[in-house]
Structure 1
Amino acid sequence: MGNYQSHNPRAGHGTQPYHAGHVRSSIGQRRTNGKSLLGTLAAAALPAFLSNNPLPNGYPWSHLSPNTDYYHEVPYTGVIRCYDFTISRDVIAPDGYLKPVLLVNGGFPGPLIEANWGDTIQVTVRNNITSPEEGTALHWHGFLQKGTPWEDGVPAVTQCPIAPGKEFTYTFQADMYGTTWYHSHYSAQYAGGLIGPMVIHGPQIAEYDIDLGPVMLTDWYHEDYFTLVEQTMAVNSTPVFADNNLINGKMNFDCASAKHGDRAPCVNDAGVSQFRFEKGKKHLLRLINAGAEALQHFSIDGHTMTVIANDFVPVQPYETKVVTLGIGQRSDVIVEANGELDAYYMRSNISKICSLARNHDALAVIYYDDADTYSEPKSEAWDIQDPGTCANDDLEMTVPFKELALPEPDLTYDMEVKLFVNGSGIKLWSLDGVTFRGNYNSPPLLLGILGNYTFDEEWNVRRTGNARSVRVNVINHTPVAHPMHLHGFDMYVLHEGLGPWDGTIVRPSNPQRRDVFQVRPNGHLVMQFDAGENPGVWPFHCHIAWHVSAGFFVQFLTGEDKVRGMKIPAVVAETCREWAAWTGENIPEQIDSGL
């Protein structure tokens, strides 16, 4: 069976994964993914929009279109989308290997949050994590949170953690549209299962017939997340390797190869995710890299894809056979069902050159029309080699549909990325000369609202003052690629490549914009953001879980004159009181940065 190929000279030209049979699970849905139906044929296609909104001009967003400057003009529908989430610990086997995980409402991945552009999203999160108890918080990846920075969901930055047995209600506007996800930002909890998809319906730049919804790509670990954090933060630590790769929370695993086979039950027939194509129809797939470390290469045997959005930014459509996604990145793609076979493999391959995994290859099955869903595809993978650059698509290819010219920066930072061993023998990351460690009891945003700008150095806060637009040159002095994520803004991506930046800006009249972008090993990433448009405290960090655990994190305090005196909901302060009360009697096991 073919695969998306690697040209890693140490690994040869790809691998032949063990037999991909048992496309249907025999161990039961509740045992594999809990209550989640994602990745099953029972998962419903999504509508063009939720129709219980008022529909002026036929759409919830009225006359607004992809040409609307969505950073400055957002519809207000007046509709509130309410969700209740309970976070708990359980044992499931997404790939046949039973392990303790963190679940949202009993499922992995967690429930889909769905809204229309301009709706208000309200999520009540109940912390029922026990054995042991932990704090938690949920981040709503990619939303700007204009006027509501305390809803961003980052403990030790914008809020205190939700204490065990307590709840917190997040309320924010769906100010962007497209595909994203939510995840815990408390330590590396999201690597232990605490993730879920989000779809915000909005105007489309290309026609399609069927929205198949989220396709979540996740590297998967058989050790629990805290054990992996301990490994990361240990003296003379060894790298963390993923044990498997999943599509929508499913994949088979070769139990005979399990290093931990004597410590947990494992079965060989967990099953893979399934999708349905209708011949001749165009299908929208919403790709999300929701993993912890792995750079993913996504493809569908025998089918090309038309990319129409990267992160929350619609782009001029372009065709490709492979979509590359770093952690946190999303791409909306349209696929026409024009194949001749009854079934095809969908694949997501972890880059052998850029990432660490024992099994790199995830499979799912696409069935045409009424094909036998017990049959195995006879399709072959595209014979395309991993370029080995660890980079995203060329900036010249990715042109935002809504044109926005690059403004002149008022402030510029050169931020160096370094990996070093501290005096205790622990490997740590630094960004701009500081290794981050947060204080769950003292979020800088809440201090700033009170007018207190006395921040500990290890919080790594950069005050941008009255700067309207801030330019950041990330200089990577390490042989590892990093998916760099900025909260509260879309980045203008000016340039990226190997070595130092030569000052060139790619398409200054309309540079690429997105909220995560790869910086190459020993390379640079130059980005810019309009700091003056969103007062708050906004993280900028590597989205690899183990890197941010080891300190790879900075935060920007923007518009501090407007931050001082912001009116925040009383529940935010109450959450801090509840956390203070819990920590007064319990000691949190914060052995990493906290994030």
Structure 2
Amino acid sequence: MWTSICVMSMLFLALYVTIVADLGFVPRKSWAWQNSVNSLNIDIDPFALHPEQHIFRRPRTIALHWNITRGPRRPDGVLKQVYLINGQFPGPTVEARSGDELHISVFNGIADADEGIAIHWHGMTLKGSNEMDGVVGITQCAVGPGSTFAYKFNVDQEQHGTFWYHAHSAVQRADGMYGGLVVHKPVGKGRNQQSDLSVHEYDSEKLLLVGDWYHMSADKVLAEYRDFRSFSNEPVPDSLLINGAGSYNCSNARPGKPVDCVETDVPMVRMTGKRVRLRIVNTGASAGYSLQLDNAAMQLVTVDGGGPVLKPAPWTSTLGVLYPGERMDVVIFPTDEQQQQSPVLKMALDPELMQLMNPALTRMQEFPLNWTRSHISSGSAEVGDGWELVNVFNLENAQGHPVALDEAPADTTVLYTSLGINAFKKNEPWGELNHTSWVWRDPYAKPLLAMDKNAWHSGTEQANPLRTFKVPRFEAGEQRWMDLVVNNVDDRGHPFHFHGHEFYVLASRQDDLDRAYNPYEYHDAEIPVNTNNPLRKDTVYIKPRGYVILRFQLNNHGLWLIHCHVVWHQAVGMGAVLQVGNIEEATARNTAYSCRGLRDMVDGEVGQKTKTS
């Protein structure tokens, strides 16, 4: 009888895990089942991934319902109001496979403020679903308190990799409105089709959402940055979080900015199996970082949304720099077979955007790796005797798989990005691309996608009142390609993200001697470009006073934002909108209709508040 009860308990628990994981997330708790004879630990980790549930099945519709609220949390021991999705910070991890259809209903449950929200699906191409891109002012109105917006889109059959979702309204991303989105590559029907687990030889997958963290609210941090006394110096973060947790030394708090702080233990990163695929996302607001390993090694396998890396990439103990919005997948394993010394993951924040001093910040932070080998597969691969460990591997040296690209694209556009102190704006910092800024005045106003193009300029705010808002348009076609050149005029770097597109990085340059400004001129044929094995990405770092050349297909109709992914730079206008092809009348009409419903809800609440006040 006892055996029957045990079996029934295990079946119930397995069914529970399957059902919950089927929704794309698992609760943040640990379950253990034991008896006097055997001990079986079943660890439910919200950041442990489940490719086995997705790579063998057929495409299907995944329906999720989210309630976004705010609440007090101590991610690193310091009390702060953070955004919660279904009570979780970070938000639930979404898992899918290529070809799935996602239906995600987002309810704004923020009750104590007139605060709109919108969710962007970072790295997803969203073909045929431009209106689901989640950008306030371009593809939708903000979702006001008490309102719901239903995001519905198909995952492209050819798209798989590490993605994430985050707020694209105000600066809410810096206060925790984000989560992971992983699209698994399905196994084909042919005999020789292999899963990623076999190709890259690993036992399990885990998501790491890693980013800088500010103890003040993002609105207050932005206000300090906009103050002319900042001299356009970016605010320096206070801490660093891995999967929403960190450890802050309360004695480091600045006397001028006291915090409610409780000492917490350093979070431990749990690893299952000998070789683990880490899907790493830089969720930070400002800083890039490098990964350093003690008693372990890692190998880069993909970048951003699954852009493959030319094999074999070297095994290394240090890898970086990964900038905000970028992702990288690595396979990691312990090098000390006898476990005499425990592996440690070190995160080193890049100091480039830290011109000001912040004594509260510990720039290098360490996180122990807790390796559990109880679930090692019998086929777990070993690294051969002749393997070489490289001390440092720079991400910019990675190369992609061979690809056939034409030498000359159909279109070429050159952008110049700048960030500086603006005399027209009370000496505040202000960003521009080709003398155009992207700052939307009213989050509840009708977005560009639902407006007549002749009125597009009316909702934006420009750095110079004499300049007008411009949206360049490019013809679309399955065989049409475009080269986008972005020249960085600034003395600081910018990680740029292009919505709705993946691109090949043909070149990334900077003057090696004195970082003098040396822009790319397209007629200069002497500058080499890599059309053989460039990396495929959706977010790219542009070096100080440097440039990048990006090539992509013009086959995704709509209005798409390209912008710096540093929250503070984006907030002061460093972005531009590109139009690819035509905007369907039905898309514009549906966008206007949904926006009108959201605005009516907000107007009704405002009117009700006015009547009762």
- TM-score by length of structure 1 reads 0.79
| Match among 458, 479, 490 for residue 478 of structure 1 | 490
Q: Could you report, residue by residue, the CA deviation over 1:241-283 in whole angstroms, capped at 9, with x for unpaired residues? A: 10011121222111011126874421122431421244xx321
- Distance in 1 (CA, whole Å) between partners of 2:247 and 2:329 is 26
Aligned residue for 2:235, secondary structure, equals: coil
2:534 aligned residue: 511
Aligned counterparts of 1:552 and 1:207: Cα–Cα separation in 2: 38
- Is 2:49 the partner of 1:46? yes
Query: Would you say the 8 A contact 2:481–2:553 is kept in 1?
Result: yes
1:52-80 Cα deviation digits (max 9, x unpaired): xxx8xxx34xxxxxxxxxxxxxxxx4511
Structure 2 letter corresponding to 1:191:
A
* Counterpart residue number, 2:295: 302
How many residues are paired up?
A: 506
The aligned runs of 1:320-331 (5 Å cut-off) are: 320-324=316-320, 325-331=322-328
Aligned to 1:91, the other structure's residue is in SS state strand
1:25 aligns to what? Answer: none
1:425 CA displacement: 1.6
Q: State the one-letter code of the partner of 1:574.
A: S
2:179 match: 196
The equivalent of 2:209 in structure 1 is 216
- Kindly indicate whether residue 558 of structure 2 is the aligned counterpart of residue 536 of structure 1: yes
Q: CA deviation at 1:152?
A: 0.8
Where does residue 288 of structure 1 map in the other structure?
281
| Aligned partner (choices 240, 265, 270) of residue 245 of structure 1 | 240
Q: Could you tell me how far apart the structure 1 residues matched to 2:238 and 2:603 are?
A: 34
Who is 1:417 aligned against?
Answer: 417
Aligned amino acid, residue 444 of structure 1: L
Higher relative contact order (CA 8 A, sep 6+): 1
Note the 1:165-564 alignment, pairs <5 A: 165-175=146-156, 176-203=159-186, 204=195, 206-237=199-230, 239-259=234-254, 263-278=258-273, 281-312=274-305, 313-317=307-311, 318-319=313-314, 320-324=316-320, 325-339=322-336, 340-341=338-339, 343-355=342-354, 358-369=361-372, 392-394=395-397, 397-400=398-401, 403-406=403-406, 408-420=408-420, 421-423=422-424, 424-439=426-441, 440=443, 441-447=445-451, 452-456=453-457, 458=462, 459-466=469-476, 468-498=480-510, 499-501=518-520, 503=525, 504-531=527-554, 533-560=555-582, 563-564=583-584
In 1, distance between residues paired with 2:418 and 2:580? 25
**Percent identity between the aligned chains?**
26
**Distance in 2 separating the partners of 1:580 and 1:264:** 40
> Which residue is 2:385 aligned to?
none
CA contact (8 A) 1:97 1:253 kept: yes
Task: Note the alpha carbon deviations across 1:545-567, whole angstroms, 9 max, x for none.
Answer: 0000010000111102xx23244
What is the SS of the residue equivalent to 1:548?
helix
1:364-405: CA deviations, max 9, x gaps?
22123379xxxxxxxxxx9968x9xxx8422xx32136x242
Question: What residue identity is the alignment partner of 1:496?
Answer: S
AA of the residue aligned to 1:525:
V
Conserved? CA contact 1:247–1:362, under 8 Å? no
Q: SS at 1:461's partner residue?
A: coil
Q: Give the counterpart letter for 1:304 in structure 2.
A: A
Give the corresponding residue for 1:378: none
User: CA shift at 1:407, angstroms?
Assistant: 5.8
Of 136, 140, 150 in structure 1, the residue corresponding to residue 121 of structure 2 is 140
Q: Pick closer, same or farther for the CA change 1:444–1:158 going to 2, 3 Å.
A: same
What is the CA–CA distance in structure 2 between the aligned matches of 1:37 and 1:180, rounded to whole Å?
24
Question: Aligned in 2, Cα 1:208/1:392: closer, same or farther, shift over 3 Å?
Answer: closer
Answer yes or no: is the 8 Å Cα contact 2:234–2:354 preserved in 1.
Answer: no
Structure 1 residues 511 and 383: alpha-carbon distance in aligned structure 2, compared to 1, 3 A threshold: closer
Contact 1:404–1:511, Cα closer than 8 Å, also in 2: no
Letter in 1 for 2:486: V
Q: Of the two, which has the highest radius of gyration? A: 2
The separation in 2 between residues aligned to 1:586 and 1:400, in whole angstroms, is 55
Q: CA deviation at 1:539?
A: 0.6
Distance in 2 between residues matched to 1:122 and 1:569, nearest whole Å = 20
Preserved CA contact (<8 Å) 1:272 1:363:
no
Q: Deviations over 1:346-365 (max 9, x none)?
A: 12211124556632223322
Query: Which consecutive unaligned segments of at least 5 residues does structure 1 have?
Result: 1-33, 61-76, 372-381, 588-595
Contact 2:417 / 2:432 at 8 angstroms: preserved in 1? yes
When residues 537 and 509 of structure 1 are mapped into structure 2, their CA distance, relative to the original with a 3 A threshold, is: same
Conservation of the 8 A alpha-carbon contact between 2:499 and 2:561:
yes
TM-score, normalisation: structure 2: 0.76
How many Å separate the matches in 2 of 1:236 and 1:399?
44
Q: Helix, strand or coil: the match of 1:304?
A: strand
* 2:76 is aligned with 1:95: yes
Q: Deviation of residue 87 (structure 1)?
A: 0.8
Q: Corresponding residue for 2:97?
A: 116
Whether the aligned pair in 2 keeps the contact of 1:247 and 1:348 (CA below 8 Å) is no
Cα distance in structure 1, aligned partners of 2:261 and 2:27: 20
Give the 3 Å change call, closer, same or farther, for CA 165–542 of structure 1 in structure 2. same
Secondary structure of the residue aligned to 2:450 is: helix
Partners of 1:147 and 1:541 in 2: how far apart?
A: 21
When residues 486 and 406 of structure 1 are mapped into structure 2, their CA distance, relative to the original with a 3 A threshold, is farther
Alignment match of 2:138 (pick from 136, 144, 157)? 157
RMSD of aligned Cα (Å) = 2.9
Residue of structure 1 aligned with 2:112, choices 125, 128, 131: 131
Taking the aligned partners of 2:450 and 2:52, their CA distance within structure 1 comes to 36
1:500 Cα offset (Å): 2.7
- Cα distance between partner residues in 2 of 1:107 and 1:156: 27
Distance 1:101 1:48, change over 3 A: closer
The 3-state SS of whatever aligns with 1:573 is helix
Deviations 1:104-136 (A, max 9, x none): 111211110011111111111110113323000
Quickly say closer, same or farther: Cα 1:198–1:569, change in 2 above 3 A. Answer: farther
SS of 2:221's equivalent?
Answer: helix
- The answer to whether the 8 A contact 2:209-2:283 is kept is yes
Alignment check: 8 A CA contact 1:484 1:518 kept: yes
